Structures are given as C-alpha cells and as structure tokens.
Amino acid sequence: MKKFIQSLPKVELHLHIEGSLEPELMFELAKRNKIAIPFNSHEEVRAAYNFHNLQSFLDIYYQGANVLIHEQDFFDLTWAYLLRCKADHVMHTEIFFDPQTHTARGIAFDTVVKGIDRALTRGHEELAISSKLIMCFLRHLDEESAFITLNQALAHKDKIIAVGLDSSEIGNPVQKFERVFKKAIDHGFKSVAHAGEEGPASNIRDALELLKVDRVDHGVRCTEDPALLAQLIAQKIPLTVCPLSNTKLKVYKNMTEHNIVELLRHGVCVTINSDDPAYFGGYMTDNFIAVADAHPLSKAELAQFTVNAIHASFISEQEKQPLLQRTLDYLEQN
C-alpha cells in the first residue's frame, strides 16, 4: 500500500509556501542574508517544532520567514518545494503565500511574487508540475492592511488566482474581511478561507455566507453541525484537510480520531494536503500514509482524494481531464 500511495498521482490545494521552509534552507538563507536566528543547529530548530496549538506554531512560523529577503530566496524556497512535489508525484499544486508577513518587514510585494512565480514557471517547464498562486490575508491584522495588500495584488492579477484567509482563527472572525473579499471577487479573484480548524462549525458557515468562498481550508469541525455537513455534500463544497497539521497542532489527539475518512465516506469533497510540511513532519505522501496507517482504505478510496482535489482545483474543466485520466489509469493499472 505504501508503494501504491508513493506513486499515486496527487494534487495539492493547501500549502503555505513559507511553511515549506526546511531548517537546512533556513540556516543557509540566514547565513547568506546575515540574519540572526535563535538556533545553533538544524537539530535545535526541529526540537523547537513542538506545538500545543495553532498560535504556538504561528509564532515560530513567522519568525522563520524572517530569513526570506531577496527574490532569489523566494525562488529557492519554492523550487525546493517543487522538487518535493516531483518526488511525491504531485501533478498540480495551488500554493498560498502571506504577503503581509514580508511587506511588514520592508520586503516589496513584487519581490515576493516574482521569486515564487519564477520557480512555478520553471516547475511547469522542467518538472511538468502545473500550479496556481493564492494570496492570503492575515486575519490577525486589520481590514485596512488587507485592502492595501489587495491593491498591491491587482498589478499581478495574471499570476494570482485567488485570495485566502489564514493565521489565528480564534478571536478573529471573518466579518472583518467581508468587504475586502467582496472587492477581490469583483476583480475576478476566486476565494478560499481557513475555517473550522480550531474554531467552531459556525466559522465555516460564516466563511461560506459572508466571504462567499469557493472552498474551505481545513473545515474539519463541520461534523459538529449536521445541517452544515449536509450542505457541504449537496453543494459539493470542497474541504482542504491537512491530517499531519491537525495532529501536530492538537486539533485531534491522534490520527485514529481524525474524521477525514468519515468525511470521505459521507461523500464530502474532501482532499489531503500538507499545510506547512517543514513544520508538521511531512509532505503529500507522508500525509496520505499517515491517514492510511490509522484508517484502512481501499486503493479506490485513496485515489478518490486525488479525484476530489482535481474537481476542487482552480484549473479549467479542460485542464482537469488529463489529470483525471492519469489518476484513473494509475488506479486501473495498480
């Protein structure tokens, strides 16, 4: 089964590029950019990755991003992630970036986008991995900062497919972002939001009703509200679930308690993703294996996660066809 999972074609829809910064690259960039970091070795960094909730992770994650300064740094970060995608048979990926984490440090929006985009373009040409870029607003910051960020994004509309919402869910309701999401949608951006990760099912309802999102990031707490669960199924609203993230951040005590397989069997358009793989102990294949180890799954069920992700992706129906074909061929031949 591990062999089947390793080579299974995959699609990733929930990946924070800053969360793919491995300790080795963090050290290399800190040295290159002469940035002091509060660790003496890779081992010390990994030892610090012991989280008890979302906020304890976010504090370390924002600190790690301080080593990213130049366009080349964003290129190197993204390229390293794409090589992991290649190894894990990821055909298509839709990645998040957090512009405010960088603009707040005086790094130009353009520098960030250009570095990431150059790597994604090369990934398409040299690794045959297609991709889309999603810009997240930080929900602990205010509406004005989100509007400034959206205005900066307008010059890069050709490179950014959607807006998203991440950072601390508790204490930062979506109401603050209703107007900025409306403006983004009016400009043609698609939209997603983190909801129902640590916060209650009502946050998922709010993201759907107030922000009008196309899909929900995490969303695992939907099972606490049967009417909402029925709505997600009926309206085919995708959830981008991140199993290793959820156990690392104590949303679930262990993988056996995770509801992802229950969601799949209920007919929710649920997908498997890696979130912040450098911090949570694994990329796409690792996440699939962690789920399959805790919950016996058939090969068809494992492939269904990819089929769901293809349907949930922001590529055209025409672009989806070869990905679906490759997945179904793989299932038939293995």
Q: Between residues 15 and 303, which has the closer beta carbon with respect to Zn ion?
A: 15
What is the smallest separation between the CB atom of 274 and Zn ion, expressed in angstroms? 9
Would you give the binding string for ligand HPA spanning residues 237-276, x where CB under 6 A is met? --------x-----------------------------xx
The CA-CA-CA angle for residues 213, 218, 224, to 5°, reads: 95
Would you give the binding string for ligand HPA spanning residues 138-167, x where CB under 6 A is met? ----------------------------xx
Binding test (CB under 6 A) with ligand HPA, winner from 8, 9, 17, 19: 19
From the list ligand HPA, Zn ion, none, partner contacted by residue 197 (C-beta under 5 to 8 A by kind): ligand HPA
Place of tokens 């991709």: 131
Number of residues that bind Zn ion (CB under 5 A): 1
How many whole angstroms separate alpha carbon 164 and alpha carbon 148?
15
Would you give the binding string for ligand HPA spanning residues 110-129, x where CB under 6 A is met? --------------------
Nearest CA to 114 out of 75, 82, 169 is that of 75
Q: How far is CA 14 from CA 104, 257, 262, in A?
A: 23, 21, 20
Joined together, the tokens standing for residue 2 give 């591990």
Which of the residues are catalytic?
A: 197
Q: Between residues 197 and 206, which has the closer beta carbon with respect to ligand HPA?
A: 197
What is the smallest separation between the CB atom of 234 and Zn ion, expressed in angstroms? 25
- Coil, helix or strand at residue 285: helix
Residue nearest to Zn ion (CB): 275
Residues 63-92 binding ligand HPA (CB under 6 A) are none
Residues 182-201 binding ligand HPA (CB under 6 A) are 194, 197
What DSSP string runs through 120-144?
A: HHHHHHHH--EEEEEEEEETTS-HH
How many whole angstroms separate alpha carbon 117 and alpha carbon 126?
14
16 binds ligand HPA, rule: CB under 6 A = yes
The residues near 91 (Cβ < 8 Å, ≥ 6 apart) are 9, 10, 11, 128, 129, 130, 323, 326
12 binds ligand HPA, rule: CB under 6 A = no
Q: How far is CA 155 from CA 14, 16, 151, in A?
A: 24, 22, 8
Q: Between residues 12 and 276, which has the closer beta carbon with respect to ligand HPA?
A: 276
| 241-257 core/surface letters (b: 16 or more CB in 10 A; e: else) | bbbbbbbbbebbeebee
Binding test (CB under 5 A) with Zn ion, winner from 18, 22, 76, 275: 275
Tell me which residues touch ligand HPA (CB under 6 A). Answer: 16, 19, 54, 61, 166-167, 194, 197, 245, 275-276
